């Protein structure tokens, strides 16, 4: 796109070429640098918007880009003014509603920060789970498992394979020591529930056996390999899709639900208190 830069923009760009970092300092008399119909972009507008601390070449691009964006916005607004009805252009009510909504949202956020108790005990989580367990069916299978990923050709693979069965008291220690030295990825906490999709993200190619519960009881160690890695997964327990989610798997979600309910109740309590106080003091009347 070709256009003619006015003399004030040329002054800015010339100042840049001389290495000046003060070309956006306020002038005694503000100067126009661009116009769209009866709307003007002034040097002070550039000065206010200029982020500063840019190389000379970047500053030149920024000036040209800012002016172009300003021009495009003004042209679209001008077109809108010409094509919309007066009723469509009356946005005062929408602005008031948006302002009120924004102010209320900010006030409520501050109120929540100051007064909301976010601590949730394990007994509260357990009670909620027992009363509402029917709302926590699993959307996909989950499992407790440990896994180890090593490079092809890693040393002592057979020792790793045997330790993963966790038959001997020292096997976990052996695994931890091995993984610290040779594993590219591992997870040895078998009390953590993980979804099948999350496990697939860690172990490419992992698939659930058609009869998982029985299969993993008899064959707890799954071994996969590709051209670069060897993947070992020891499945401790599997719960299929549709079954009730165990408490530990949904405890964080329940904690969030409890805190959210507290937040709703807090805001309702404050709102009702304000209303009752206003009625009592005659600050609210219905005519």
Give the pLDDT of residue 11.
Answer: 56
Q: Of 239, 257, 273, which residue sits at a domain end?
A: 239
Indicate if the pLDDT at residue 2 is higher than 90: no
Residue-level length of the chain: 287
Q: Of 20, 52, 83, which residue sits at a domain end?
A: 83
Residue 205's pLDDT band, with cuts at 50, 70 and 90, is: confident
Bigger pLDDT: 10 vs 183: 183
Rounded to whole angstroms, how far apart are CA atoms 177 and 189?
14
Domain identity same for 159 and 225: yes
**Mean pLDDT across the chain:** 86
Residue 88 lies in a domain: no
Give the pLDDT of residue 60.
Answer: 84
What are the φ/ψ torsions at residue 119 (nearest 5 degrees)? -80, 130
Indicate if the pLDDT at residue 275 is higher than 50: yes
Give the pLDDT of residue 10.
Answer: 55
Give the pLDDT of residue 98.
Answer: 93
Query: With contact defined as beta carbons under 8 Å apart, do 148 and 159 qualify?
Result: no
Give the pLDDT of residue 41.
Answer: 93
In this structure, are strands 193-195 and 229-239 parallel, antiparallel, or unpaired? unpaired
Of 211-215, 232-236, 263-267, the range with the lowest mean pLDDT is 211-215
Domain identity same for 233 and 149: yes
- The pair of structure tokens assigned to 51 is 């982020």
Domain identity same for 67 and 115: no
Residue 2 lies in a domain: no
Cβ burial, residue 164 (10 Å; 0-12/13-18/19+): buried
Rounded to whole angstroms, how far apart are CA atoms 238 and 190?
12
Give the pLDDT of residue 170.
Answer: 87
CATH of the domain at 171: 3.10.50
- Sequence-distant (≥ 6) Cβ neighbours of residue 223 within 8 angstroms: 161, 230, 231, 232, 233
Q: How many folded domains does the chain comprise?
A: 3
Give the pLDDT of residue 18.
Answer: 45
Indicate if the pLDDT at residue 246 is higher than 60: yes
Whole-angstrom CA distances from 36 to 69, 123, 184 are 12, 66, 60
Domain identity same for 149 and 193: yes
Of 23-37, 60-74, 81-95, the range with the lowest mean pLDDT is 23-37
- The three-class DSSP label of residue 269 is helix
Instruction: Find the helix or strand (DSSP H, E) in which 193 lies.
Output: strand 193-195
Q: Tell me, what DSSP letter sits at residue 107?
A: H
Query: With contact defined as beta carbons under 8 Å apart, do 186 and 150 qualify?
Result: no
178: containing domain: 138-239
């Amino acid at each position: 796109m070709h256009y003619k830069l006015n003399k004030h923009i040329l002054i800015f760009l010339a100042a840049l070429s001389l290495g000046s970092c003060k070309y956006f300092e306020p002038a005694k008399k503000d100067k126009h640098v661009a116009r769209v119909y009866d709307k003007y972009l002034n040097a002070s507008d550039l000065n206010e918007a200029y982020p500063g601390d840019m190389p000379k070449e970047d500053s030149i691009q920024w000036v040209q880009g800012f002016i172009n964006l300003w021009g495009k916005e003004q042209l679209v607004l001008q077109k809108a003014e010409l094509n919309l009805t007066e009723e469509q252009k009356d946005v005062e009510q929408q602005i008031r509603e948006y302002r009120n909504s924004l102010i209320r949202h900010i006030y409520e956020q501050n109120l929540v920060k100051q007064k909301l108790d976010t601590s949730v005990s394990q007994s509260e989580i357990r009670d909620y789970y027992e009363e509402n367990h029917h709302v926590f069916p699993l959307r996909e299978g989950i499992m407790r498992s440990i896994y180890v990923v090593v490079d092809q050709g890693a040393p002592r693979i057979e020792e790793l394979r045997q330790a993963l069965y966790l038959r001997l008291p020292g096997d976990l220690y052996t695994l931890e020591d091995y993984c610290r030295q040779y594993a590219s990825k591992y997870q040895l906490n078998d009390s953590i529930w993980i979804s099948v999709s999350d496990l697939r993200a860690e172990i490419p190619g992992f698939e659930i056996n058609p009869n998982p519960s029985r299969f993993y009881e008899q064959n707890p160690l799954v071994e996969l390999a590709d051209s670069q890695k060897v993947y070992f997964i020891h499945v401790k327990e599997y719960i299929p899709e549709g079954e009730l989610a165990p408490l530990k798997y949904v405890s964080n979600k329940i904690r969030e639900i409890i805190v959210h309910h507290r937040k709703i109740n807090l805001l309702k309590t404050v709102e009702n208190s304000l209303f009752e106080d206003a009625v009592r003091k005659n600050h609210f009347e219905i005519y």
